[in-house]
A and B are shown apart, each in its own frame.
Chain A
Amino acid sequence: MPSADELQILGTSLSVAFRAIIWSLPFAIAAAYTLSRPRLPGKIVWDGLAHLPIILPPVLVGFLLLMIFGRRGPVGAWLERVAGIHLAFTVEGAALATAVMTFPLLVRSIRLGFEATDERLFEAAAVLRASPFDRLVTIALPLAGPCIVAGAVTAFAAGMGEFGAVITFAANIPGQTRTLPLAIYTVLQEPGGESEAMRLAVGSITVAMCGLVSAEMLQRWARKRLAG
């Protein structure tokens, strides 16, 4: 049975990953929809920007977040002044770092959903008096729905394991920002921590596999439905 500490760590990880998805989902949907438009100007550049977190070292992402959202960063200072919000070295900061890192995964999956939707259905909706926004809400989103959910599940599972950006931006504070990978890292620093690391690893792998399997099942269901 997991100990109270282990449960708390799992809870922190779940909460961080969950908040990350909730916050990044609207932006990811908007980005994916924009990127799926065939005639988007400067598409290569936007596409590159959306994918940047995948190829940058996570530590660098964490550092950039510190520069922007840290207490002295332009956005961080403004947030503190206006709303009294601290992001650096807090659990909200861990969620932000996770959101940035998982953003490309989310965008990729959702974009596939938008691109798989027959463009001609939008024409059919247009001649039935549906405005462009109406078409987005009533045709594009429902048809991409399974891909949105699948992307969210994958990103959630991946977010559980985010390390470099989180430790740089939110640090490794026990009981606050210590997520599963940070806890594994911590116990490995101590002699004889391998068995504890194994226990944490099992939890981590279980959550990740559940996420991937449910994402795949959703994708299959989506393909079947869109083929109709």
Chain B
Amino acid sequence: MSDELEVDAQVVQGAFTLDAQFAVPCDGITALFGPSGGGKSTLLAAIAGLKKLQRGRIALGGKVCEDRAANVHIPPHRRGIGLVFQDARLFPHLTARQNIAYARKRAPAGAHLEVAEVAEFFDIASLLDRPVSNLSGGEKSRVALARALASAPDYLLLDEPFAALDGARRRNFIETLLATHRKYGLPMMVVTHNIDDATAMASHVVALKDGRVVAAGPFGTATQLPAFRALLDSGDVGSALAADALRKGRADNIARQFWLRADYVLLASERPQAISARNIIKGEVRVLLPEESGSVLVELRTPEGVILSRITKEAAAELALVVGTASWAIVKAHTLS
């Protein structure tokens, strides 16, 4: 109970109402997922103490941060909850080094994170003495992350810190986040609306839509809830699969799990022979879900977890798929990002 971030938050902002209840463990990384305008940033601001609750309670590891009923509101600077903003928000009158030192100076006694160590970890040592206006978007993000880490928070919230990054730099930043989490054991909540990013990072997920939590829990199971699936683009519907489940193909990625899209999974009613795909997983058909588009979403229960496959109605008939039959999922390893 106590080693959780417990949130019961109601915040009214004009016509928008955030009304979110959930609890996630104080270890690992939680993805805060959902479409834009769903209240993700408002929720982070409320957890950090920057927005007062109209009603509700927020507690971190059993320590109450806010409780409207008891009229408790710990101000943000005493919560020990860090927040990395989407727009970095570096102090313009300070250099990168001074920005990090600003946080270091205010960290609680006993937090031994020197600027040099943090800078080396985030590979920003060479730009420490530049004014922050001279930094690129990716550099600003890394300095902002380094600064947040230097203040030694008990919990770190990240509001889509890689929204401005693309391709390799985005993956690079996510890997840095994962490495940060591993090295410093810092629990995090990361906002994203990209399912691949969420899968690469998260052990838990909280999905927010129109200010309400529609799904919350361990990543693998919560992402299979119909309400979560409804948040995804049709082409993104799929399931999380542990990286170990895939025997061959890609060994370069440090992510623990992949998002396996239903469109990229073939089905066979017998064990396939003479085929180039390296990943064939046997499972049992649990659900056949006809979709509006005329295709059928097949849910397979496998030893590796749930796997979804989207096939045509005709294919489903041809394979004589019914609930309970055995089936083989064929995954092309290259389709995994």
Contacts and interface: CB of A to CB of B under 8 A. Distances in A.
Nearest to B153: A127
B77 A120 contact: no
B162 to A, nearest CB: 18
Contact of A120 (B48, B78, B85, B133): B85
Contacts, number: 74
Contact of A130 (B77, B90, B148): B77
B91 A127 contact: no
Interface in A131-183: 131-132, 134, 138-139, 142-143
A138 B102 contact: yes
Nearest to A145: B93
Given A120-B85, A123-B50, A129 B106 contact: yes
A127 B133 contact: no
B132 interface: yes
Given A128-B148, A128-B151, A226 B92 contact: yes
B125 interface: no
Contact of A127 (B76, B87, B92, B93): B76
Of the four ranges (under 10, 10 to 19, 20 to 34, 35 or more), the interface on chain B belongs to 20 to 34
Interface string B98-114: 00001100110000000
B290 interface: no
A125 interface: yes
Contact of A129 (B91, B107, B131): B107
Contacts of B81: 127
B86 to A, nearest CB: 10
Nearest to B144: A124
Given A127-B76, A127-B81, A139 B91 contact: yes
Contacts of A139: 91
B76 A126 contact: yes
Given A120-B85, A128-B77, 7 more contacts: A121-B89, A123-B85, A127-B76, A128-B147, A130-B102, A131-B77, A132-B77
10 contacts: A123-B50, A126-B75, A126-B76, A127-B48, A129-B106, A131-B75, A134-B77, A225-B93, A226-B92, A227-B133
Interface of A: 118, 120-121, 123-132, 134, 138-139, 142-143, 225-228
Query: Ordered nearest first, which 7 A-B pairs have the shortest CB separation?
Result: A228-B133, A124-B89, A129-B106, A126-B76, A228-B92, A127-B83, A128-B103
